[in-house]
Structure 1
Amino acid sequence: MQVASHLARISTGVKGLDELIEGGLIPGRVYLIVGPPGSGKTVFGMHFLLEGARRGEKVAYISLVQKPEEVVRDMVRFDPSIYAYVNTWKLILYDLGPILWRESSRVPTWRSVLLRIRDIVEDEKITRLVIDPLTAIDFPQQNPVEKRVELAKFIRGLEDLGVTAYLIAEMTDLDKYTEEHYLVSGIIMLHYFMHNGRMTRAIQVFKMRGTKHDPNLKLMRFTDKGLVVYNKSPFEAE
C-alpha cells in the first residue's frame, strides 16, 4: 500500500492556528481539546464547526451537559452568521445528554454515545463533529485494560465513520496522562494564567500525528471575532 506524501488538510477555523500545523488538520481523525474552565474550549470547537459550514459541509455539535442553545448564544457575539447555519440545518445541534440519561440510570457510556453518534452522522452525512464534554461519559468497567479497550473502540468507531472529530475535556493533572491522550491523533491544550500581573491566554499543540509542529506555548487571545493564535511566546514583552 502506498502512502501519499502530502495529506490533504482542513482548516481549524481559528485564525493563526493552521499555519502552525502544516495548513490544518488531517481529516478523518479524532482530536482532543483540553483546558481549564473558561479557557475557550467550546468557542474553539465552534470555530471548527463554523469553518466547515462556511465550506458547505454539514457539521454537528453534540452536547452532553450544556444546552446547545446557550452555546449558540455565547458564540453569536463573535460570529452572528451562526444563526443562519443553525436555521438552515448546516450546523446541527444535539442535546444528547438528557436522552442518554433517560435511557439509563448510569452516566452515559462510550458504547451508548457511539451508537447515537453513528445514527446522527450517517443520517445527516456529517463531516465535522464536536463532542462536549468528554468527561460526561463514564466507563462501566473498573479494569484499566478494559477501560482502554472501550475508549479505543469509541475512537476507532468515530474514525470509521469518516468524520473529523473534536473531543472536548476539562484539563486534568498535566503530569498524569489518561487513556485518551494516547489514543487520539492530536491534543491541543488551552491555557490561561497570570503573567506580569495580567491574565494571559496560550495554546499548546501538545501532540499532532503526521504533522510537524512546535509543542511550545503560543500566545492566544479573545478578539471581537473570537480566538486568534499568534506565532510567538505568551511571555514575550508587548
Structure 2
Amino acid sequence: MSEEKRIPTGIAGLDRVIEGGVRDNTTLLVVGSSGTGKSTFAMQYLNYGLEHGENGLYISMEEPPEQIMREAKMLGFNLDKYYNKELFFFHSKGKDFVQLVDEQLPALVEANKNYSVKTRVIIDPLTPLIWAIQDKQEQREIITKLFYTLKQLGPVLITTEEHAAPGETIGEDVLIPIYMSDGAVHLTYRPIGGAFNRALEIVKMRATRHGEEVYPYIFVRGVGVVVRTTPLISAEDVRKYDEVFDKAIRTAADLGASDRMLERLVYVKENWSYPFSPKETLQIFFESQGLNDAVTKEQLEKRKEKEGSTPETQLDIAELSGGTLQVDDDVIMPDFQDEAVVSDQEEEGLIEIDSLNELEELIK
C-alpha cells in the first residue's frame, strides 16, 4: 500500500502482517490486561533497535531502570551493555505529568536534534498518567502533546493497562490513547490451557495494509514474543484480479460514472489485498452508486457519443456476481444467468426466429 520505508518492530511474526514494520515518527500502542506481556513487547522492541544501531529512550512511570534491566535479562535481553551509552532511562515517579510533558521531554527532543542516530522510544506504562487525569478533555490534550513530542525522536511504542468491564471488547479507559495513536495492538489472555492462550489483534495501523485476524502468541526466552502469523497475500496474487478491476472501470466509465468514482475504483484496484475475487465488492459498490439501475440503449449511445469513442470490452454489471446483461426491448436489465449457459449458446450460433414462416423458409 505504501512505498514508505518500514522500521521492523523486532516482534517475531508481527512485522509479517504490518507490511514489514511501523512507519517512522509514529506511535504504536500496545493495550492489554495484566499478564498479557506488554512489557515484554516493549523490551523486545527496544532491544531490536539497540542491536541494529539505534539509540533507545525508556520512559518508565513505575519501575526504576535497574529493575527493568534485571527483568530484561531474565527474558534473554542484555540491556546492561547499552546503559548510558545508547540506552537512556527517564524515570518519572508520576508526581507531575504536566511538567514532564511541557518541559522535560521537549527539552530532551531539542537536545537530540544535533544527533543523526534514530532513537526508539518506549513509554511503559502510560497507565499512571491516565489514572492521574480524570478529566477526559485534559487527558486528551496531554496525551496529544506527549505523542507529538516523542514522535520527533523516532518510532514510539507505548504500553497501557486496560480494565475492560464484562462484555466490553476493549476497556473504556484506553479509548483515548487508542484514538490518538497511529497504531494499536490489543493483547488478550484467556487462561483456558494449552500453548496458545494469549492472542493479538491489530486494532488500527494508519496508512498500512495489515492483517485482520486474531493471532496467538507465546513467550520464548532468548527470543521474546513470537506471534503465530502467516504473511499477507503476495504481490503476484494481488495482481491476478487486475483484469476484473479494469473491466469494472471501463463499465463504470461507459455508464457515466464521474471522474471521482473512477479514481476511487483505480485506488481500490491498487490496494486490493484480499485472496478472493473483488466481484461481489464491486457489485455492491456499483449498487451504492446507482450504476445498476435499468439503462436504455438510447442512454448508452448518448454516453458513448459524449465520451467520443466506444469503450473496450466491458465487465457487465450483473457479471460481477456471475451473470450477463440481457436486452429486453430497449431496456438493459441485469439478468443473473450462468456464464457457462450463455457461453454455450454463443458457441452454437443460435438463430432467433419470430414465426413458423421464417422457420419454413430457413429449412428450405
Shorter-chain TM-score bucket reads: 0.7 to 0.9
State the Cα deviation string for residues 175-214 of structure 1 (Å, max 9, x = none): 5352111111010112211235677111111111111112
TM-score (norm 1): 0.81
Q: Which runs of 5+ in 2 are unaligned?
A: 165-169, 231-364
1:204/1:92 Cα in 2 relative to 1: closer, same or farther (>3 Å)? same
Q: Does residue 1:84 correspond to 2:81, yes or no?
A: yes
1:198/1:13 Cα in 2 relative to 1: closer, same or farther (>3 Å)? closer
Alpha-carbon shift at residue 141 of structure 1 (Å): 7.0
Write out aligned runs for 1:210-225 (5 A). Answer: 210-225=207-222
> For residue 94 of structure 1, what is the amino acid of its counterpart?
F
Match of 2:104 in 1: 116
* Aligned sequence identity (%): 30
> For residue 127 of structure 1, what is the amino acid of its counterpart?
T
Q: Does residue 1:45 correspond to 2:42, yes or no?
A: yes
Larger Rg: 2
Q: Does residue 1:93 correspond to 2:89, yes or no?
A: yes
Q: What SS is found at the alignment partner of 2:76? A: coil
Match of 1:236 in 2: none
Distance 1:203 1:119 in 2: 35
Distance 2:35 2:171 in 1: 21
Residues 121 and 153, structure 2, Cα contact 8 Å, conserved in 1 = no
> For residue 119 of structure 1, what is the amino acid of its counterpart?
A
Q: Does residue 1:14 correspond to 2:11, yes or no?
A: yes
> For residue 155 of structure 2, what is the amino acid of its counterpart?
T
**Greater RCO, 1 or 2 (C-alpha within 8 Å, sep 6+):** 1
Distance 2:2 2:228 in 1: 28
Would you tell me which structure has more helix in proportion to its own residues?
A: 2
Q: What SS is found at the alignment partner of 1:74? A: helix
Within the candidate set 151, 161, 172, 1:170 is matched to: 161
The more displaced of 149-158 and 35-44 is: 149-158
Q: Does residue 1:189 correspond to 2:186, yes or no?
A: yes
Residues 216 and 228, structure 2, Cα contact 8 Å, conserved in 1 = yes
Distance 1:214 1:127 in 2: 27
Q: Does residue 1:58 correspond to 2:50, yes or no?
A: no
Distance 1:185 1:179 in 2: 12
Tell me the matched-pair count.
219
Distance 2:98 2:130 in 1: 7
Distance 2:87 2:27 in 1: 19
1:29/1:228 Cα in 2 relative to 1: closer, same or farther (>3 Å)? same
Distance 1:201 1:10 in 2: 25
Q: Which runs of 5+ in 1 are unaligned?
A: 102-107, 233-238
Residues 47 and 77, structure 2, Cα contact 8 Å, conserved in 1 = no
State the Cα deviation string for residues 98-144 of structure 1 (Å, max 9, x = none): xx62xxxxxx3355335322333443556111111112115887654
TM-score (norm 2): 0.55
Match of 2:225 in 1: 227
Q: What SS is found at the alignment partner of 1:169? A: strand
> For residue 95 of structure 1, what is the amino acid of its counterpart?
H
Distance 1:143 1:77 in 2: 38
> For residue 172 of structure 1, what is the amino acid of its counterpart?
H
1:82/1:146 Cα in 2 relative to 1: closer, same or farther (>3 Å)? closer
Q: What SS is found at the alignment partner of 1:12? A: coil
State the Cα deviation string for residues 158-188 of structure 1 (Å, max 9, x = none): 23x2421112100232153521111110101
Would you tell me which structure has more strand in proportion to its own residues?
A: 1
> For residue 166 of structure 1, what is the amino acid of its counterpart?
L
Q: What SS is found at the alignment partner of 2:90? A: strand
Residues 130 and 167, structure 1, Cα contact 8 Å, conserved in 2 = yes
Match of 2:275 in 1: none
Residues 22 and 213, structure 1, Cα contact 8 Å, conserved in 2 = yes
Match of 1:73 in 2: 70
